[in-house]
Amino acid sequence: MRRWAIAALFVPTLVIAACSSSSSSKASGPSAPPSSALAASSGPTTTKLTLSPIKVGAILDLIDATTPQADAKAAAQAAADDVNANGGINGHPLEVSTICDDKLDANTTEQCGRQIAADSSLVATVGDFANFGDSADAIFQAQGVPVIGDQPISTGEFTTCTVCFAVSGGAFGALGGEAALISDTLGQKPFNFVITDVPTGRAAPQIVDGILKGRGSAAKIGQTIFYPVSQSDFSAIAAQAADGGPSAIMFAGSDVDTVAFAEAMKNGGLNVPLVASTFQLTPPDIQKLGAAAEGMYLAGFFNLSGPGPDKFFSTMTKINPAYTGGEPANMWVAVHLFADVARTLPEGQVTRANLLAALNSDSHVDTHGFTPILDFSKKSSAFGGAMGRLFNTTVVYARVQGGKITQLDQLFHNVFSAGTQ
């Protein structure tokens, strides 16, 4: 299972936490052959579309077939099929023809970037989830390859990647979203914060404090508990986090650690509300946890209901009933966003340069109800403009109820200021 730890640094520059794989996974070394990274997916159904295909690529971590990114790969094909069932791109079939496995390795991610950029038939990448995304994004920027709907984790994806057009808040948005949820839902009282003990994690409390102050919230961190990356038994840490009667426990760690921590709380009879993000707790995790997951609060990037989300869930449930959130949703949105933008271009003009021009001038980005309307035409003002590529500064609030993730309301909650959209 993939391990993604949430943490951030902004003193004074921003650094987003990397992630590590579980002990059972082994990432490729610097000399890994690039040919092993690329794989062609089977083409979508294009029976009624007779014009030449328009092709895109993607970078995902497929090192472990049980990760949500395996479902993201399936979501890419499902989304392309949906686009093609509705006329394709002005009669041209859309193909997610190349998916590159970055193997959770920076060097392999760079190889993915070089190979995709060198393939002139690929006019963009869609839904990238690369933990070392900066390695590829520098190449995409130099070659003018649009990066549409990437899941921002690396520093440049929030700050300097001018070809990156994310629709979620990525690692930073997840961290801020948890703090905002506590402030808005669980009271303006002290809460405890548990996070992985890495350099970026050490700086995270300052980020959380800044977000809460910016929202005018009286909620604040009571105590911060840093745990080693190698931690497996969370019983003592859970007991410490629950001590003192905090309004909540905010947990920022990997999916594996989130499950272990929730189990420790249940086994210890600790009834303090636990807050995480939807990227830390997947439906299979909820099934595994059973009663230990019940009542958990989650901050997520995407609306869970409405015409767009309903179509996504209906489609993905047929592919894999066990997992239909998070990364597959991001891929679904990215593929459809690409198609929407490509359809605005004249016949024969769906090129990298024209896509970038269209994206950079798009002030009304419609994700079909997954997010608020976004604006790619200007820099984000998040953190005084330091994170200019953080276009979506909202999250949705949800809770595990009856073994399912249920949205608390139909609102998009601003992370950096009080209020909704």
3-state secondary structure 263-332: HHHHHCCCCCCEEEECCCCCHHHHHHHHHHCCCCEEEECCCCCCHHHHHHHHHHHHHCCCCCCCHHHHHH
Same domain, 373 and 401: no
Closest CA to 237 of 246, 227, 250, 245: 227
pLDDT at 185 (0 to 100)? 94
Average of per-residue pLDDT across 362-378: 96
Q: What percent of the chain has pLDDT over 70?
A: 86
Same domain, 136 and 177: no
pLDDT in tens, 296-319: 999 999 998 889 999 999 998 888
pLDDT at 203 (0 to 100)? 83
pLDDT at 12 (0 to 100)? 31
Same domain, 103 and 149: yes
pLDDT at 324 (0 to 100)? 58
- pTM here is 0.85
Has residue 2 been placed in a domain?
no
CA distance 38 to 118: 13
Same domain, 243 and 357: no
Average of per-residue pLDDT across 50-62: 94
Residue with tokens 């997916």: 41
> Which of residues 46 and 102 earns the better pLDDT score?
102
CA distance 112 to 287: 34
Same domain, 278 and 403: yes
Same domain, 259 and 374: no
| DSSP code of residue 175 | H
Same domain, 213 and 245: yes
232 lies in which domain range? Answer: 172-300+396-414
Same domain, 48 and 60: yes
Same domain, 156 and 191: no
Residue 295 in contact with residue 400, Cβ under 8 Å?
A: yes
What is the rounded average pLDDT for all residues in the chain? 85
pLDDT in tens, 209-257: 988 998 899 999 999 999 998 999 999 999 999 999 999 999 998 888 9
The count of structural domains within the chain is 2
Element (DSSP H or E) covering residue 116: helix 106-118
Has residue 317 been placed in a domain?
yes
> How many other β-carbons are positioned within 10 Å of the β-carbon of residue 415?
26
Closest CA to 140 of 158, 122, 167: 122
pLDDT at 37 (0 to 100)? 35
Alpha-carbon distances of 399 from 126, 294, 376, rounded to whole Å: 29, 8, 30
CATH of the domain at 369: 3.40.50.2300
Same domain, 66 and 159: yes
pLDDT at 385 (0 to 100)? 85
9 DSSP β-pair partners: 15
